[in-house]
Structure 1
Amino acid sequence: MCLWRVLYVSRKYLFLLCIEGVTDRIYIDQVWAIAQERLSVPFQSIDGKSFDKFKSPLFMGTCQSAMSSLSALIYILIRRKSGEPLQQTLGLSHADATKHDSKPANGSANGDSNGHARPRRDSKASNDSARFSRRALLLRYLQCSFFITSAAPFGFAALSYISYPAMVLGKSCKLVPVMLMNVLLYRRRFARYKYLVVFMVTAGITVFMYFGGEKKKSKSHSTSSITNTGPYASSIGLGYLLINLALDGATNSTQDEIFARHRVTGQQMMLFINLFCTLLTSFLSVLPLPYIPVIHPSESGTTELAGALEFVRTHPNIITPLVQYSLTGALGQLFIFETLQHFGSLTLVTITLTRKMFTMLLSVVVYNHKLTVGQWLGTGIVFAGISVEAYVKRRDVHAKRVIQEKEKAKIKSL
């Protein structure tokens, strides 16, 4: 399978093998999206007398995070070097921790692609941050887990007020909160062209999805997930979606900060973030919380875990989409964290957002499908944004080569 060829790869050949694994990644992502949408619509009870909606987003999060942490642990242990201490394998200690410098250890993930954090004026604080700190690392993991645990219920609740195509359309603007949170939370500065690229890619994908024919085709199916149709339903759904996007941006920016400050792999980060997510959601699931919109939509006084298990017992047809949601989410995260480690959150989100557009363009070539005028316009805007990125990168590389050649010429003349 292309999946494992992508996972067992050195950084040198990562991009090449990612191209080979595109089919598997797209298939996993599509099955995950279908399972997520399926979990938002009512399920028939075992006696066939009623259709009820699954109202346990924390239980869903627990299933996926537990499966993701298990997948990451298996991957890490398979890749473990002989004689390597377990703490070092898990990224909780380094053999040369005292020599750990403050320079980013994850390549372009912390370079130009994700901006530069402003240096601290206090030299002592700067030296302390350069040393490996297990406590600081675990706190960052916990912070990411809190953001993820908080974001998931809002995304799930938004589907009760807006259609799935509308949800996808809103998610196409994810580049904006990712960049915004990097600036607000960690004072990262981006090159000016980066803001232009983010604007063009976001605008192009939004235009592409808005004028897509897929929205009309799936209208009858997607609207079936909307269970709240009041006069302010769209506004409430949009508010939930904005909160979800803001928390997603905070998550991605914090992950960039972890890679910038600590030498960890994507799978090590995936293990601990999902482990903390599992602990958080499990703790909340066993508390007899009152009715809280979005966070605890179950009946007052009952634990969400008890309600979820009872729902699974009385609605067994939920098991298949729940397993698909957990398994495909875990496998997809292996790709996500590998890309995040080497290329950073902005590149990751750009790849994620443009994946659907490139899939549609591939189907045009292979199956002679037709795109609307609006879709071609959106495609042109996205390609223009990507071209700006490529042009600037090519110019910078050329400038560096010229400087290197001049330095070599000076050395030879001496």
Structure 2
Amino acid sequence: MSFLRLIVCVVGVYSMFLIWAIAQERLSVPFLNIVTGKPEKFKSVLLLNTAQSAASALSALTYMLIRKKNGASLKEMLGLAVTSSHSVKTNGHAKANGHSNGHTNGHANGHANGHANGHANGHANGSTKDSKPFTLDDRRNLMFRFLQCALFITIAAPFGFASLSHISYPTMVLGKSCKLVPVMIMNVLLYRRKFAAHKYLVVAMVTAGITTFMAFGEQGQKHGKGAAQSSLWGLFLLIINLAIDGATNSTQDEIFSKYKVTGQQMMFWINLFSTFVTSLLLVFPLPHIPTIHPGTNWEREIVQSWDFIQTHPSVVVPLAQFALTGALGQLFIFETLQHFGSLTLVTITLTRKLFTMLLSVVIYRHRLTPGAWLGAGVVFAGISVEAYVKRRDVHAKRVMQEKEKAKIKDL
């Protein structure tokens, strides 16, 4: 039964997020206008984010309702009943270290996987927390942190989507795989956290890999000053996206270190706030804002989005695929995390990113040079070093815990 569950989880993560990646890339290329016959790009990132966050919040709520313990109140289910006052070390390992480790392998869609990894690894490190009832200030502070994460995500997503107009999807996937770099930087700058020595080696490897990948580029691409400037601009947009993602991840680290919330609860609240924020931006008139509201000045984006859908009906299928598969994929992520732990999840998400890049190359016929493949290999090698060290450390801690249990039995 356990093996069958693992197979279902692996197939679920792979299938959902591979379809999600294909839909995301499809949304970045032009759609045919049925009135004029001209190809035009879908630019409403706000509608894209609203559909994604609404589906994710609904799936997280459904997951929590299914997993709700008998007798648990609504506040307990939503993570509003108990807060943690302070950490208590056991076997010499603090929980905060587990959080910072887990976030380095966050998922490419942004917000749920790495945070859940950190939460699970913190528990694996053997730490416990004293708990006390939630106060009004606790709820306000927690909701503010969730809103802060939602705002970060709302701002970051348009930059990532806009970068696809200037760089290829394999480049974006590879850049997203380098999430460790901005996460570490933001943790150091915002919360003064420190990291193990091997993490700096991983940062150097992924930085060198992405630099090599960008330097060699794709076969058959247009060369010249204009093409180079476009690629640099796309990379700049992706760096902004990753930097804001790093701020999001470090803030979620802070939430996990101070409050007793689960990954599903965080997924629900952040996506709920994200849906609220992006819905407001959709219905209110906005000035022209590059990447966020690239449409007509002071026109409501919901109107522009609806007009685009009516004249470009082929956008509906990839838009629905993007929202639904992203939400369902996160459910498989949490199911894997609950039953098999973060190490199995890291392995699945790491190989999934590699297959996403390969699938993009095959379906959309990107032709990479040998140098680009070398750069990609260096990046994934660096991420593999991080996964290997994490696996080794957690295994050593489990051995120590088993020895402690054996000593207690002997007594």
| TM-score bucket of the superposed structures, by smaller chain | 0.7 to 0.9
Partner of 1:273: 270
Would the aligned equivalents of 1:115 and 1:189 in 2 still touch at CA under 8 Å? no
User: Is the Cα–Cα contact under 8 Å of residues 197 and 386 in structure 1 kept in the other structure?
Assistant: no
Return the match for 2:291 from 268, 271, 294: 294
C-alpha separation in 1, matches of 2:13 and 2:216? 22
**Distance 1:194-1:18 versus aligned 2 partners, 3 A rule:** farther
Deviation (angstroms), 1:67: 0.9
| Pair 349,170 (structure 1): closer, same or farther in 2 beyond 3 Å | farther
Correspondent of 2:72 among 65, 69, 84: 84
The one-letter code sitting in structure 1 at the alignment partner of 2:100 is N
What is the distance in 2 between the residues matched to 1:93 and 1:108?
A: 24
Deviation for aligned residue 1:243: 0.5
Q: Which one of the candidate residues 46, 57, 60 is aligned to 1:72?
A: 60
Percent of aligned pairs sharing the same letter: 51
Structure 2 unaligned regions, length at least 5: 103-128, 359-368
Aligned equivalent of 2:97: 111
Q: How far apart are residue 203 of structure 1 and its match?
A: 5.6
**Structure 2 SS opposite 1:290:** coil
Residue 246 of structure 2 corresponds to residue 252 of structure 1: no
Any idea what SS the aligned residue of 2:87 has?
A: coil
- 3-state SS, counterpart of residue 86 of structure 2: coil
For residue 82 of structure 1, report the CA deviation from its aligned partner: 3.4
TM-score (norm 1): 0.73
Please report the TM-score for the alignment, with normalisation by the length of structure 2.
Answer: 0.73
* Aligned mates of 1:356, 1:93 — CA distance in 2: 37
Alpha-carbon distance in structure 2 between the residues aligned to 1:78 and 1:237: 42
Unaligned stretches of 5+ residues in structure 1: 6-12, 117-126, 224-228, 362-370
Partner Cα distance (2:6, 2:215) in 1: 29
Say which one has the larger Rg. Answer: 1
Work out the CA distance in 2 between the residues paired with 1:80 and 1:128.
22
Q: What is the identity, as a one-letter code, of the residue corresponding to 1:76? A: M
Pairwise CA RMSD of aligned residues?
A: 4.2
Contact map agreement 2:286 2:298 (CA 8 A) in 1: yes
Match for residue 139 of structure 2 among 126, 130, 134 = 134
> Counterparts in 2 of 1:2-401, with a 5 A limit?
17-18=5-6, 20-47=8-35, 49-94=37-82, 100-103=84-87, 110-112=96-98, 114=100, 132=134, 133-200=138-205, 202=206, 206=210, 232-336=229-333, 352-357=349-354, 374=374, 383-384=384-385, 386-393=387-394
CA–CA separation in structure 1 for the residues paired with 2:208 and 2:400: 30
Q: In structure 1, how many angstroms separate the alpha carbons of the residues matched to 2:142 and 2:340?
A: 20
2:196 partner letter: A
Q: Deviation string for 1:192-248 (max 9, x for gaps)? A: 233334544x368649977999x65xx78xx9xxxxx67732232222111100011
Q: Distance in 1 between matches of 2:339 and 2:313?
A: 41
1:157 touches 1:237 (CA, 8 Å); kept in 2? yes
Q: Which amino acid aligns with 2:293?
A: H
Aligned equivalents of 1:294, 1:404: Cα separation in 2: 55
Q: CA deviation at 1:398?
A: 5.9
Distance in 1, matches of 2:294 and 2:54, equals 22
Q: Which amino acid aligns with 1:189?
A: K
Encode CA deviations 1:25-55: one digit per residue, 9 max, x unaligned. 1111111111111111111122352221112
1:145, CA displacement in angstroms?
0.2
Cα distance in 1 for residues equivalent to 2:305 and 2:245: 25
Q: How many angstroms apart in 1 are the aligned matches of 2:88 and 2:22?
A: 38
Distance 2:88 2:300 in 1: 44
How far apart, CA to CA, are the structure 2 residues paired with 1:36 and 1:358?
15
Amino acid at match of 1:78: I
Deviations 1:64-100 (Å, cap 9, x if unpaired)?
1111111111111122233322122111213xx5xx4
Distance 1:351 1:393 in 2: 17
Which AA in structure 2 matches 1:251? T
Quickly say closer, same or farther: Cα 1:50–1:101, change in 2 above 3 A. Answer: same
Equivalenced residues, count: 364
Give the conservation status (yes or no) of the 8 Å contact 1:149–1:281: yes
Q: Distance in 1 between matches of 2:348 and 2:95?
A: 14
> In structure 2, the residue corresponding to 1:103 is in which secondary structure?
strand
Quick one: structure 1 residues 81 and 386, their matched pair in 2 at CA, closer, same or farther if it must change by over 3 Å? closer
What SS does structure 1 have at the residue aligned with 2:35?
Answer: coil
Contact 2:88 2:130 in 1 (8 A): no
CA distance in 1, matches of 2:80, 2:356: 39
After superposition, the C-alpha distances for 1:161-207 in whole angstroms (9 at most, x for unaligned) are 2222222232232111112212222222222233334544x368649
Distance change (3 Å), C-alpha of 1:207 and 1:22: farther
Once the two structures are superposed, residues 348-386 of structure 1 have per-residue CA deviations (whole angstroms, 9 ceiling, x without a partner) of: 77863443347899xxxxxxxxx9783766666655554
- Pair 25,31 (structure 1): closer, same or farther in 2 beyond 3 Å: same
Q: Relative to structure 2, which stretch is displaced further, 107-116 or 257-266?
A: 107-116
Q: 1:208, 1:376 within 8 Å by CA — same for their partners in 2?
A: no
